Amino acid sequence: MRSNIQITMLAVLLAVFAVQAVGGIWNNAATYDEVAHLPAGYAYIRKGDFRFNPEHPPLVKMLAALPLLTMEIPPVEQNPHWNSNNEWLFGRYFLYHSGINADNAIFLGRLPMVLLGILLGFLVFKWSQEIYGTGAGLFSLFLFCFEPNVIASSQVIHTDLGFSLFLVLSLYLFWKAMQEPSRKRFILAGMSFGLALSTKFTALILIPVYLALILLYLFEDRAAFAFRRFLFRKEDRLTLRLRLYFALSSFALLLLTAMIVLIISYGFTSVGRYFDGLSFVLDHNRKGNPAFLFGMYSDSGWWYYFLLAFAVKTPIPVIIIFASALLSFGRDLFKNFKTPGNFYLLIPVLLLLFFTAAGRINIGLRHILPVYPLLFIFSGRLFSFIGSSTSKANSTSLIIIFALLLWLLGSAIFIFPHHLAYFDELAGGPSNGYKYLADSNLDWGQDLIRLKKFLQEEGEDSVILSYLGSADPNYYGIKYQYLPGYGLNSPQDYRIKFKRKEFVAISATNLQSVFFNTRDTFDWLKEKEPCARIGYSIFVWEISKDREAHRNLARLYREFGMPDLSKKHEKSAANEKEW
């Protein structure tokens, strides 16, 4: 009976996760990278051509593109940008100008991401259950199912969620293999490592992780006196050599299997693209990327970027649970060094944080997404510890844990369906998120369809637009006058006519001038209260009778070398008759 209840709870939690993920997909326009990822994945499948989007390995993009095989899509070689090697032009034409239903294609492409999220959730439950018990497994799964950053990553076609799944799976299977060694187990671990390599270049971090875990394996049962025994007792030296031989030979088998999987993912003959992409990513990391953090700007990032992003993007109850689990672990560490599974969870977290801190690409919390499922699993120890005692203090602790879970549930309900834009109470909620972070932390082009609905409600179909995104506003019937910003890589300078009201709409990242040479491009607008905020990522101002706004627009267009539009707004500022 108890087993049936647990299975039901597992199924219900995973179903609720799926409902949140799928429900949040509706009305989300293609996020910035999806316009490149989905068409590239389709080209990989149809033509075996891996030219597009080499900066990410192909596996997840191919999984996302599989449902598109059910659609009637013109042959990709008919795309006028097929021979251009420009993934953005190819992708925009594929989605918005080839005659297919772009919204249906994006929706279908996102469904495999939801499935990957469900599989990751089950894996979180499974590993936590095996270490700490079924109750702890359900506790870990609850944290997973209502964490907004995890849900958001399950709604977009990108490598981060798939990488998290395959990284955690690799670690889990490696843990199982080290517990009960066999050739089959190490081959399975190697296959999952190969899937991780085929998803994201960051998977290479697993090599030092494996080596660290092997070192732990060599000494874990003799932590206090290993070296003394190793130095002075011959039989212990022999034992250590045998353990070392076993560990390294197993590691070699794992690496060989992973390389075979990687080669298969590139269709055998195109694995060279992997190294091209890796070279691109390393060069990108060397050069850095414009970034925004708590009002600061940098092209080389900050070592503490992901720590601060984690602090303001993670629900506070989750942070409290993580911290409590770490305190519990620290207390127990010296009592019992052999804590099965804990180091397999914490060492990857520490190394991932270390390598991302050393990097120069600070564009989104999603780059440390695998930290979340690993810490969810680890947090199962907290529930296990509290639930193992019947003392009054532990009864109080259970009440506190229950209250924290309710807080997390409330956070998930509040942010739905805008999970990508979640910010916790430390940041003042999602409405204030743009003051602290930008780019894929908040503003990834997802709210374009909601902007269209806003304009319709206002009786307008035109807008002056600075949009951070690669989706096509024209596809949604938005007539726009291009306002300088990052995105919209084919600007349209419509001499638009407003019916009733003149609106300026600016994406949050552009509003903060993250990708501009000067950081005060839109400061004159920040001083004005927007008339609307579209899904937390697009700010809208009405400037119908605002001469100052028109003067500033005239200045901007003049600075960006667009004299005709500058003259238009000079006339509006002077209250002259427009064209």
CA dist 249 to 186, 187, 214, 255, Å?
A: 10, 12, 11, 10
Structure token pair of residue 165: 């799944």
Neighbour tally for 281: CB within 10 Å: 18
pLDDT at 323 (0 to 100): 96
Taking only the tens place, the pLDDT of each residue in 444-496 is 999 999 999 999 999 999 999 999 999 999 999 999 999 988 876 555 656 78
CA dist 188 to 41, 119, 166, 234, 248, Å?
A: 25, 17, 12, 35, 16
Global pTM? 0.94
d(CA 262, CA 256): 10
pLDDT at 224 (0 to 100): 37
Neighbour tally for 572: CB within 10 Å: 22
Cis amide bond preceding 417, omega within 30? yes
Asked if 381 and 131 count as a contact pair (C-beta separation under 8 A), the reply is: yes
pLDDT at 179 (0 to 100): 86
pLDDT at 229 (0 to 100): 45
Nearest to 81 by CA among 71, 72, 68, 91: 91
Asked if 291 and 360 count as a contact pair (C-beta separation under 8 A), the reply is: no
Sign of CA dihedral 329, 330, 333, 338: positive
pLDDT at 494 (0 to 100): 61
pLDDT at 389 (0 to 100): 58
Element (H, E) at 291: strand 291-293
pLDDT at 63 (0 to 100): 98
Asked if 371 and 353 count as a contact pair (C-beta separation under 8 A), the reply is: yes
d(CA 183, CA 241): 19
Measured at the alpha carbon of residue 365, what is the angle toward residues 469 and 201, in degrees to the nearest 5? 85
Q: What residues of the chain score a pLDDT lower than 50?
A: 222-233, 235, 578-579
